[in-house]
Amino acid sequence: MSLLLSVSQIRGPILTQLRSSTSIFTRKMSSIEQFKQSPHKLLVIPGPIEVSDEVLFANAHPSMSHVSPDFIPVLGDCIRMTRTVVDTAKGQPFLIAGSGTLGWDQIAANLVEPGENALVLHSGYFGDSFAECLETYGANVDQLKAEIGAAVSQEAIAEALGKKKYKLLTFTHVDTSTAVLSDAKAIVETVRRVSPETLVALDGVCSVASEEIHMDQWDVDVIITASQKGLGTPPGLSILVASVRAMQVFSSRKSRPTSYYGSWKKWLPVMQAYESGKPSYFATPPVNLIYAFHASLSKITKSSPSLAERYELHRDASRKVKAAAQELGLKQLPLDPAFAANGMTALWYPDGLSAGDILPRLVKKGIVVAGGLHVDVKDKYFRIGHMGITAVEKSRGDVDAVVKALGETLAEAAAEKLKQANLRFGPLKDNGLMMKARL
């Protein structure tokens, strides 16, 4: 008997084995009930956030054409459910592959023409960034800057609008760098009273689905956000909703949009086609991410808890984290509780401790938080995210785990500092931080 086997003789059994393995894998992965994400550290930064098994399972959808009859209604549903999340009946959503930052580019390229004036309300790092983006597209930009930890006052807004005509006013609803929550309803009311023709753009990257928003009732012109925060989806989707007024301003532009990829002239027909159940093409949408987004939106808008209940659950989680921090002797970066976000908390490091004392210890306990971001104080504080399933699904125990780990970390860090001081200077007394951390 010859010891040489033909290629077909070898390939046949191998392919049979591969097909068998693939079918087993398919069977194992065919049901969400059988899918569980692997153990990992708890991600409680202010985005990206923890994502549910259902959403990750949807993200693992087999690769599919973006013009497939199966995919078209998925994107169409996402457009409709996005309206529900921001509470608008007639706003026009744009769901485009990209970071939340792409929302700035869309606003600057489609609603402001070169040489027109824009007013940016600054409550942290992202005010500077939005201003820079607008300037890149040719806008004349003024900023109203609040002190660190505060939001711009209504009096300052009214005064600025009374002195100069602005095409656009922008504000960051929750600035991720400071955890400052601006009063969206009051801001729009001030603009409509003093300068009713000025468009109002709400940067909701860190607020949509975790802070209460009513686009139509508050008369907001544009809301931008992203998939990876309160909307509970992996990063990669830029989400924008424009009001009827904003779309009319866009349609009456004297010059062409100053972006190619971000031009609504390109994307509006695509969004309208998919919502009406027809395929269209300008650039390939992130198909798998849209499936994941659909799974998350369905949970948010079509099941229990309701949107109103979700907002209250975020407030509950926020109160719990902030109360625990206060018990531990930690102070918030927001100067007033009225300015404090519900989806995240920013805390100053206690005296004598720094990022190196806190963050690595939390990681060892399986908790991932974020350091500071505001350029003026970035080494002096840290940030905890508590949005999405971390806040809404109490049975997960995420907030309890964070509070417990934070207390243990502060006690350990303070004990280590005291030990080092004793070795260097002789016995010293506990400064009280250890006792607070044990509470």
pLDDT at residue number 431: 54
Task: Give pLDDT, residue 29.
Answer: 52
Given this model, what pLDDT does residue 33 score? Answer: 79
* Distance separating alpha carbons of residues 278 and 311, to the nearest angstrom: 34
∠ CA 55-302-92, nearest 5°, is 90
Q: What is the DSSP string of 296-353?
A: HHHHHHHSSSPHHHHHHHHHHHHHHHHHHHHHTT--BSSSSGGGB-SSEEEEEPPTT-
Radius of gyration of the chain (CA): 25
User: Is the peptide bond between 48 and the residue preceding it cis, with omega within 30 degrees of 0?
Assistant: yes
**Residue 418 confidence (pLDDT):** 79
What are the backbone dihedrals phi and psi of residue 329, each rounded to the nearest 5 degrees, phi first?
Answer: 85, 15
Report CA torsion sign: 308, 228, 152, 190: negative
**pLDDT value, residue 417:** 83
Residue type, 64: M
171-206: pLDDT as tens digits: 999 999 999 999 999 999 999 999 999 999 999 999
pLDDT at 23: 38
Is the peptide bond between 305 and the residue preceding it cis, with omega within 30 degrees of 0?
Answer: yes
Q: Quick one: pLDDT at residue 427?
A: 66
Q: Which of 285, 410, 287, 290 lies closest to 347, judged by CA? A: 410
Q: What is the pLDDT of residue 135?
A: 98
Could you give the C-alpha distances from 193 to 54, 119, 217, in angstroms and in order? 45, 16, 15
Give pLDDT, residue 187.
98
Query: Tell me, what's the pLDDT at 30?
Result: 61
pLDDT for the residue numbered 432: 55
Query: In angstroms, rounded to a whole number, what is the distance separating the alpha carbons of residues 119 and 262?
Result: 21
Positions in the chain short of pLDDT 50: 1-28, 434-435, 437-439
Our measurement of the distance from residue 219's CA atom to the centroid of its chain's CA atoms, rounded to an integer in Å, reads 22
Question: For residue range 45-57, what is the model confidence (pLDDT) as tens digits?
Answer: 999 999 999 999 9
